Amino acid sequence: NAGVTQTPKFRVLKTGQSMTLLCAQDMNHEYMYWYRQDPGMGLRLIHYSVGEGTTAKGEVPDGYNVSRLKKQNFLLGLESAAPSQTSVYFCASSQDRDGTQYFGPGTRLLVL
Amino acid sequence: AQRVTQPEKLLSVFKGAPVELKCNYSYSGSPELFWYVQYSRQRLQLLLRHISRESIKGFTADLNKGETSFHLKKPFAQEEDSAMYYCALLNAGGTSYGKLTFGQGTILTVHP
């Protein structure tokens, strides 16, 4: 089992460019989450999904969109990147609502 | 609103010394709390949860509802304990969907 994987590992964007981050899990988990990690801010939830075809906003959703067309994949999109979106993005999945989450390795994004 | 506070961004101890990473929370109901850890070049992973009342890698954490704290302790720190530690609180309610509120994180460095 690969667990949770994220693509790409690192990306540099110019302001205004768009991109999609891919998260995939092979554990058949229902719940998936996207976080951003910033110094001094901890992890903040961007969007989450409670099952295939569903998405919902988290704490800091502005500037991001998500889709979960397949149960194993959770995509995070930036339509028009801004320097404030420079961060490390983590995806996580969970089978239950009990707070036990499995994390991906992270994607480091730099927006110039 | 739920909140998790980790007052120390950085914590340094020497090998063999006791270590305590502080975590305070704000929540009106019965909390479920976790410690997640991220070692260098590894992904974030669950260390322990208070409901399990277990010791992992020599770490323990006791929930103190009176002081609204969930401090992580280890009597004798090891160099391999050096990592980023996050305290997290499970969001309440039937629509929480396993969402976690994370603290700001504490970087623990154990010197030889």
Pick among A23, A33, A43, A102 to test the B interface (most B CBs inside 10 A): A43
Tell whether A100 lies on the interface with B, counting CB pairs under 8 A. Answer: yes
* Tens digits of pLDDT across chain A (112 residues): 789 999 999 999 999 999 999 999 999 999 999 999 998 899 999 999 999 999 999 999 999 999 999 999 999 999 999 999 999 999 999 998 888 999 999 999 999 9
pLDDT surpasses 80 at B93: no
Query: Residue A77 belongs to what H/E stretch?
Result: strand A73-78
Of the two residues A23 and B92, the one the predictor is more confident about is: A23
* Banded pLDDT at B55 (limits 50, 70, 90): confident
**For residue B2, what pLDDT is reported?**
86
Neighbours of A111 (CB within 10 A): 19
| Contact partners, residue B63, CB within 8 Å, separation at least 6 | B31, B33, B50, B69, B70
Chain-chain contact of A105 with B49 (C-beta, under 8 angstroms): no
Chain-chain contact of A96 with B105 (C-beta, under 8 angstroms): no
**For residue B94, what pLDDT is reported?**
64
Chain-chain contact of A97 with B46 (C-beta, under 8 angstroms): no
**For residue A71, what pLDDT is reported?**
96
Q: B88 vs A29, A53, B63, B112, CA distance in Å? A: 20, 27, 12, 29
Nearest CA in chain B to A33: B99
